[in-house]
């Protein structure tokens, strides 16, 4: 990874750390490394016995590797949350690498538990979010530029450039969650009734049935 990329990543992580206390519970000890084998159910993840903690619990490698964008959306998200990096437990943050092919889209979605700060490392992205009054806030951002998506609001990123794009996202939750709008409407199990979707969208049920078929 180029030095400039490392600097940008560090900047994002530092900024995210300043937001980390906003939503996730604050730690009451030095650390609480996630114990993936614990059968205890808590709001978060139970702590590993401190005698079993190693430096590897705070380490992840792989964000330098490009994601596979050979899919319908032309994008790939590599999210490093508490499931992949146990040392994030109770620290209120996670990070992701997002790759976009030319014309690639990270489709409209929300993070119910986190604000997202996005930094473009390469390429150009048309990004935006929709506020609760249905106003769209959007902008084209390029290498080294930052855009913030407030917690819970629908947002997207689209590669409007002529070359692949790469971005790093920092989120102020160890488990931000992702709800894709289209999947939430048309890809649920069991499915939402066509009558409900057709009425909500002011279309015929044949239209909703067809769209559903694209998400099965």
| Residue positions forming the annotated binding site for Mn(2+) | 109, 111, 116, 155
Q: Which residues partner with 142 through β-bridges?
A: 124
Known binding-site residue numbers: 106, 109, 111, 116, 155
Cα–Cα distance measured from residue 55 to residue 85, given in angstroms and rounded to the nearest whole number:
11
Known binding-site residue numbers for oxalate: 106, 111, 116
């Amino acid at each position: 990874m180029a030095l400039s990329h490392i600097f940008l990543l560090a900047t994002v992580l530092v900024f995210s750390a300043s937001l980390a206390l906003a939503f996730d519970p604050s730690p009451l000890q030095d650390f609480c490394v996630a114990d993936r084998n614990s059968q205890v159910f808590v709001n978060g993840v139970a702590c590993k016995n401190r005698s079993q903690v190693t430096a590897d619990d705070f380490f992840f490698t792989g964000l330098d590797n490009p994601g596979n964008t050979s899919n319908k959306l032309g994008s790939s998200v590599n999210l490093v949350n508490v499931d992949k990096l146990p040392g994030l437990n109770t620290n209120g943050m996670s990070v992701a690498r997002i790759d976009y092919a030319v014309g690639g889209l990270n489709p409209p979605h929300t993070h119910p538990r986190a604000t997202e700060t996005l930094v473009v490392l390469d390429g150009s992205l048309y990004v935006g979010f929709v506020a609760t009054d249905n106003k769209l806030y959007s902008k084209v951002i390029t290498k080294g530029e930052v855009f913030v998506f407030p917690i819970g609001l629908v947002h997207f990123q689209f590669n409007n450039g002529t070359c692949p794009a790469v971005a790093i996202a920092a989120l102020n939750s160890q488990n931000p969650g992702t709800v894709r709008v289209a999947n939430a409407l048309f890809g649920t199990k069991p499915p939402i009734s066509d009558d409900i979707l057709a009425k909500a969208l002011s279309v015929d049920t044949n239209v909703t049935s067809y769209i559903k078929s694209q998400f099965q």
